[in-house]
């Protein structure tokens, strides 16, 4: 593949080679120290901060012409952020893209982990707005750095405890703090806590990029990722009373969709590829699916359309 | 970063007749992906996808790792066994890196597997607050079929994996075991045979 086939005024995958080397060195350190935030010289990207500049820089540094890229935003391949980042790499890296989780070698994500189990060799790149889990508890970087160095995470447990004393349960539902390999407390980015168990012992490599805050961190494959909790208030994930109105899934993360101004609503999978492949009947073998659910889906579907 | 003067002058850009990567952009990418794969699967021996001509004291894999990761922002330290004008000129010409005689001020260190741990006792291991400010050590070996094996476990390893670089100075095993005790500080090691690489990040537990 020659560079002339890509947007000719830029280097392959937009970033210059020296920037890529700098990010590559940071990524290797991040993998070697799971959960530790490695500072890097984040570049300005042709998109505003908050739109995934960190994730884009990590993806641009990692991908090559033989990769297949999938980009999701809140689980969906069709939202503005996902579409524009996918087009960005089609244009600058001349790369194949896909919406199928299992066909992708690199998946860039904003705020979700795909429902389908990730496999060895895949790389999941997270867009991270605020990488420091302790930032809202301690605004000074010098202090949070010291707290990580000393493994002083009492403050985070106090925060979770205050949740319990105020609400009766841990009310944190996204960006739920995790401890990586028993050492660093890490912000899993604003993914729902529903996705936290998927990070634990995951076969894929997970890379996190925060562009504005200029931090990179990582979870190597098969690494212990533990959501913080208390013995008498164990970590729990969200659950719903309803199944997905489109595919009947009982075990995926559901979005609430308002249908009209009379209080009607439906719940659908946030992972658009997972939902679509279930509707097509080509869902992944790793996912259990029963005929009863399929017929249930028909009835819910027709009710929803009434 | 400390800028130190040393006998391997940084003004000299180096001259070599050996070519670097055929395609600097894509070759560096596939080599980086190989290193990333190795670093995220400690102990797994992975074939180096590109062969590059290199000076005799630096094998092809070790050379390609440095060509992919080193540049004018990095300082390389060469061990007594690997230091020679051919290697220095090759690295300076292709990467623009600076070379240092002070092993305590380097980003990358190159060692031959036959050398002892005394040479690398002073490599930077980072600090408790900035454990990333540490050196990455590249150890040149011949193959990965040694009699002596270490069993690895930890992040990146599903159950266990084996590390068996050869030839390896027997004292280096002890050094590697000690290295784990400094976590999160420590040195990340990339073993490079002429055709394969294998990584030992500081996070791996080791049983000999």
Which residues in chain A are closer than 8 Å to B201, comparing Cβ atoms? 31-32
Chain B residues near residue A39 by CB distance under 8 angstroms: 132
Among all chains, which residue has been given the structure tokens 């070599």? B16
- Average the pLDDT over B172-182 and give the result: 96
pLDDT tens for each residue of B45-69: 999 999 999 999 999 999 999 999 9
Q: Does any domain span residue B1?
A: no
Sheet strand arrangement including B150-153: B161-163, B150-153, B205-207
CATH number at residue B174: 3.40.50.11310
Are B103 and B123 in contact by the 8 Å Cβ rule? The answer is yes
A221–B41: do the CB atoms touch at under 8 Å?
A: yes
Beta partners for residue B47, in sequence order: B196
Tens digits of residue pLDDT in A55-77: 999 999 999 999 999 999 999 99
What total of structural domains would you count in chain B? Answer: 1
Q: Do A27 and B36 touch (CB under 8 A)?
A: yes
Q: Given pLDDT bands bounded at 50, 70 and 90, which one contains residue B2?
A: very low
Q: Which residues of B touch A144 (CB under 8 A)?
A: none
Q: Is residue B163 part of a domain?
A: yes
Banded model confidence at residue A282, pLDDT cuts 50, 70, 90: low
Percent of chain A whose pLDDT exceeds 70: 89
Phi and psi for A215 in degrees, rounded to 5?
-135, 145
Lowest mean pLDDT among A217-221, A288-292, B34-38, B186-190: A288-292
Segment A241-270 shows an average pLDDT of: 95
Q: Are A96 and A105 in contact (CB under 8 A)?
A: no
In chain A, residues with a C-beta closer than 8 Å to the C-beta of B28 are 17, 20-21
Could you give the CA distance from residue A110 to residue A55 in angstroms, rounded to a whole number? 9
Question: Does a structural domain hold residue B65?
Answer: yes
Check CB contact under 8 Å for B29 and A64.
Answer: yes
pLDDT at position A262 is 94
Kindly state whether residue B26 falls inside one of the protein's structural domains. yes
Is B2 among the domain residues? no
Chain B residues with a Cβ under 8 Å from any Cβ in chain A: 24-26, 28-30, 32-33, 35-36, 39-41, 68-74, 107, 127-132, 134, 136, 154-158, 183-184, 188, 201-203
| pLDDT at B173 exceeding the cut of 90 | yes
Q: What is the mean pLDDT of chain B?
A: 93
* Domain-embedded: residue B22: yes
CB–CB of A32 and B202 under 8 A? yes
pLDDT, one tens digit per residue, over A160-182 is 999 999 999 999 999 999 999 99
Res. A291: pLDDT tops 60? no
Residue A284 pLDDT class (50, 70, 90 cuts): low
Predicted pLDDT at B62: 98
Domain around B153? 14-207
pLDDT digits (tens, 9 = 90+) for A8-29: 568 999 999 999 999 999 999 9
Mean pLDDT, chain A, rounded, equals 90
Per-residue confidence (pLDDT) for residue A4, from 0 to 100: 46
Tally the C-alpha atoms within 13 A of residue A23's C-alpha that lie toward its C-beta: 29
- The yes-or-no verdict on residue A191 having pLDDT over 50 is yes
Report yes or no on B8 lying in a domain.
Answer: no
Catalytic residues of A: 35, 244, 247, 269, 275
Q: How confident is the model at residue B14 (pLDDT cuts 50, 70, 90)?
A: confident
Interface probe, candidates A11, A31, A34, A63, chain B, greatest B C-beta count within 10 A = A31
Q: Do A220 and B156 touch (CB under 8 A)?
A: yes
What's the average model confidence in pLDDT over A272-282? Answer: 91
Q: What pLDDT, on a 0 to 100 scale, did the predictor assign at position B63?
A: 97
**Residue B9 falls inside a structural domain:** no
A197: number of CA atoms within 13 Å, CB side? 10
Rounded Cα distance between A241 and A250, Å, is 9
Phi, psi of A207 (to 5 degrees): -120, 140
Q: Cα-flanking dihedrals φ and ψ of residue B91, to 5°?
A: -70, -40
pLDDT single digits (tens) B76-106: 999 999 999 999 999 999 999 999 999 999 9
A contact test, residue of B24, B40, B67, B72 with most A CBs within 10 A: B40
């Amino acid at each position: 593949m020659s560079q002339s086939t890509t947007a000719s005024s830029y280097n392959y995958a937009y970033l210059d080679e020296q920037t890529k080397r700098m990010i590559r060195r940071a990524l290797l350190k991040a993998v070697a120290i799971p959960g530790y935030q490695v500072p890097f010289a984040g570049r300005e990207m042709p998109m505003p901060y908050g739109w995934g500049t960190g994730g884009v820089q990590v993806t641009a540094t990692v991908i090559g012409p033989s990769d297949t890229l999938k980009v999701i935003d809140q689980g969906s391949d069709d939202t503005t952020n996902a579409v524009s980042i996918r087009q960005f790499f089609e244009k600058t890296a001349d790369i194949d893209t896909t919406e199928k989780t299992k066909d992708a070698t690199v998946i860039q994500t904003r705020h979700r982990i795909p429902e389908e189990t990730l496999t060895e060799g895949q790389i999941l790149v997270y867009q991270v707005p605020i990488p420091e889990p302790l930032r809202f508890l301690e605004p000074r970087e010098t202090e949070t750095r010291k707290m990580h160095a000393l493994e002083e995470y009492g403050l985070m447990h106090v925060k979770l405890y205050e949740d319990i004393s105020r609400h009766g349960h841990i009310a944190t539902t996204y960006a739920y703090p995790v401890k990586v390999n028993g050492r660093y407390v890490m912000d899993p980015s604003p993914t729902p806590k529903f996705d936290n168990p998927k990070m634990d012992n995951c076969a894929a490599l997970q890379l996190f990029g925060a562009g504005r805050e200029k931090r990179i961190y990582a979870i190597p494959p098969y690494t212990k990722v533990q959501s913080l909790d208390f013995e008498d208030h164990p970590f729990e994930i969200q659950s719903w009373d309803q199944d997905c109105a489109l595919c009947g899934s009982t075990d995926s993360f559901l979005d609430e969709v308002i249908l009209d101004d009379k209080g009607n609503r439906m719940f659908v999978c946030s992972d658009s590829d997972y939902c679509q492949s279930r509707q097509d009947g080509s869902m992944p073998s790793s996912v259990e699916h029963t005929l009863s659910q399929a017929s249930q889906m028909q009835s819910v579907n027709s009710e929803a359309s009434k | 970063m400390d800028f130190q003067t040393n006998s391997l002058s940084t003004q000299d850009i180096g001259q070599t007749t050996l070519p670097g990567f055929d395609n600097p952009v894509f070759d560096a990418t596939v080599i980086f992906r190989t290193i990333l794969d190795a670093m995220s699967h400690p102990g797994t021996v992975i074939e180096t996808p590109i062969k590059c001509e290199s000076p005799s004291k630096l094998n092809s894999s070790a050379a390609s790792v440095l060509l992919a990761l080193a540049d004018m922002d990095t300082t390389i330290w060469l061990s007594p066994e690997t230091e020679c004008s051919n290697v220095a000129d090759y690295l300076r010409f292709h990467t623009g890196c600076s070379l240092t005689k002070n092993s305590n001020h380097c980003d990358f260190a190159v060692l031959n597997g036959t050398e002892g741990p005394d040479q690398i006792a002073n490599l930077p291991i980072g600090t408790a607050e900035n454990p990333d400010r540490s050196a990455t050590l590249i150890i040149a070996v011949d193959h990965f079929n040694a009699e002596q094996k270490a069993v690895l476990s930890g992040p990146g390893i599903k159950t266990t994996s084996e590390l068996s670089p050869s030839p390896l100075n027997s004292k280096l095993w002890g050094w590697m075991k000690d290295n784990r005790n400094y976590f999160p500080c420590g040195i990340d090691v990339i073993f490079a045979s002429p055709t394969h690489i294998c990584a030992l990040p500081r996070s791996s537990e080791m049983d000999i």
